[in-house]
Amino acid sequence: IAALKAQLAELQRVDAEKTDNRRAEAAAASPGESTLEHHTMEAADISPGETFLLVTRTEMHEDDGARSEARRVLRSLLGLASLLNRTLILPATTSSPGAVHDGTRALDGRMTSPITSRTAVAELRRLGLRTRPAGFLSASLPEELRCSHVRLQTPRGLDSEQLAHALRHYTTTRILEIDNPQQSYCGPSPRASSSLLRTEAALDTLIAGEGVVAANALLGQCLHSLREEEVDQYWDMGKCKAHRVHVALPMEILKLPKGSDLLVTFSTGGVATMAQNWVLALRKAGVAEGVVIGALDDAMVAACKERGLPCVPVQGDAKTVAELGKCKEKNVRKCPDQYPMMSTLKVGFYRELLSQGFNVFACDSDAIFMNDPRALMHQEPWIHADLAVATDCIDVPGDAQHPLLHCDFNTGMVFLRGNEAVLNFTEAWREKVANAKEKRIRDQAAFNMITKASPGLSQYRDASGKDVPRVYLAARGGESNPLRLGVLPLDRFLNGHTFFVQHVHTLPAAAPAVSVHM
């Protein structure tokens, strides 16, 4: 083992020396510039496949605290640009949009240390770092570059290994925008290569200067989480393609009055029996009209005709149809490459129904209604909600006191009111699923990302200023018009644990169960 370790260390040393030599040769071959701004290129000079990194714009002011924070932002960005091998787009000040961010002034001596621009530029080149000016994105960019722009929010305190793992799905994204990089990136991991350690040390020296800022204060504290970290939030900033879904509603649905409540599920042919059971449970609960199954493949359309089920074909674009056809499993959930596409069709199906003026009570086909839920959504407090959703909680007493918002919302049971706010929301929801780089971001993950985005949920108050129980304002990812979101009660909208294990519906004074999500 000792011999192998020694061989590995020697290989890393040789590799690091080769990397340093290549960088030094590149720096020597390039003419020096007098300012950091000149150490950049125009949009027309973009290299094929070149990828970029920038920070989400934040307010910066001319005070000592902001300057110190700006240095930390710049330090973390330089470290990330080196780690991810991306060209860094320099941040700009809010007071002078065309200028380089305050933090970069540490490189020309006006704020922290007497490091000249020429020295800084040479050092950045020696380290293999590339930069672009702050106004780079305001230029006319090629469509392939402009459309490949994603903004991310990651957990705090990640080291180089953890952050590289969290961002592994975004290596081909051309423009990567990071929220609060100074909080996300904490420096090299304990297993970092000697080359990375040398680069990080050089960046500390460059930004900290001659002892003005301690090097260990430039980056956030590592939290040393043992789990595999994932991205907390993502936003598709390119928004170059809309993923429309096509639905031809039958006359028995179209003739219903606008504002009617539809009870909706979706299914592929592989789970047609489950969808049939869903319909039979509704009929047993006394629901005869306004019931719709979205058929996601030809097998389900055929099963509906054979079994007399109320289905409508749901179709995406040609690419979606072709990709779904590659799944040979009866249950699409077993096809991780295709399942997100089914989620796109599912949410798109809901939006098409909403656009026709209907309200939608949507659920998975493994969730059955034990009672008719429609009247409930037109009573207090639900009448105030634009949408209402179940949760994955199992603490019934806790939920009865106050909704447990730390639990994930479960989109296997959600009520959507057919108004403009919900139409806009479902549009954003569908696109978030469709444009996700990560296969784990399906309809439920995307729903939680949008509704729980900063600044988070806040209690909704009616016109008199009174709190409306179980109804909250969701920020919708920073949109100006928040969504009124209701959290369905756990004792009436049951899940597998609360029904089969806790038997909540059999407890004394238990309210009649509305549904059970298996």
Percentage, residues of the chain above pLDDT 90: 52
Q: Which two tokens stand for residue 24?
A: 């030094």
Q: Is 214's pLDDT higher than 60?
A: no
Q: Does 25 share its domain with 115?
A: yes
When mean pLDDT is compared across 84-88, 131-135, 497-501, the lowest value belongs to: 131-135
- CA dist list (Å): 118 to 7, 37, 112, 125, 366: 39, 11, 16, 11, 65
pLDDT-based confidence at 391, cuts 50/70/90? very high
Burial class of residue 421 in the structure, from the number of CB atoms within 10 Å of its CB (0-12 exposed, 13-18 middle, 19+ buried): middle
CA 346/CA 474 separation, integer angstroms = 22
Same domain, 231 and 283: no
pLDDT band at 443, cuts 50/70/90? very high
Q: Does the residue 3 lie in any domain?
A: no
Total-model pTM: 0.79
For the ranges 243-252, 294-303, 473-482, the maximum mean pLDDT occurs at 294-303
For residue 479, pLDDT over 60 is answered with no
Residues 405-433 pLDDT 10s: 999 999 999 999 999 999 999 999 999 99
Contact status, residue 198 vs residue 128, Cβ threshold 8 Å: no
323 shares its domain with 224: no
Whether 243 is in a domain gets the answer no
Residues 402 and 444 in one domain: yes
Q: Are residues 142 and 267 in the same domain?
A: no
The answer to whether position 245 is within a domain reads: no
Inform me whether the pLDDT recorded for 53 exceeds 60: yes
Give the structural domain span for 148. 17-236
CATH number at residue 455: 3.90.550.10
pLDDT for 305 equals 94
| Residue 56 pLDDT > 90 | no
d(CA 175, CA 149): 5
CB atoms within 10 A of CB 1: 5
Residue 244 covered by a domain: no
Any domain includes 1: no
Residue 16 is predicted with a pLDDT of 60
Q: Tell me, yes or no, whether 232 and 262 share the same domain.
A: no
Element at 468 (helix H, strand E): strand 467-474
Is the residue at 341 inside a domain? yes
**Could you tell me the pLDDT band of residue 72, with boundaries at 50, 70 and 90?**
confident
pLDDT at 85: 94
Domain boundary among 182, 205, 236: 236
Let me know whether 443 and 357 are in one domain: yes
Number of domains present in the structure of the chain: 2
Mean pLDDT of all residues belonging to the chain? 83
104 has a pLDDT exceeding 90: no
Structure tokens at 430: 């569908």
Instruction: Note whether residue 103 is domain-resident.
Output: yes
The yes-or-no verdict on residue 368 having pLDDT over 60 is yes
- Looking at the chain, the whole-number percentage of residues with pLDDT higher than 70 is 82
State whether 88 and 205 are in the same domain.
yes
264 and 156 in a common domain: no
pLDDT at 506: 92
Q: What count of other Cβ atoms lies within 10 Å of the Cβ of residue 489?
A: 20
Q: What is the per-residue pLDDT across 312-355, written as a single tens digit (0 to 9) for each?
A: 999 887 777 777 777 777 677 777 777 778 888 899 999 999 99
pLDDT the model gives residue 17: 64
490 within a domain of the structure (yes/no):
yes
Instruction: Please tell me whether residues 184 and 329 are part of one structural domain.
Output: no
State whether 294 and 216 are in the same domain.
no
The answer to whether residues 222 and 271 belong to one domain is no
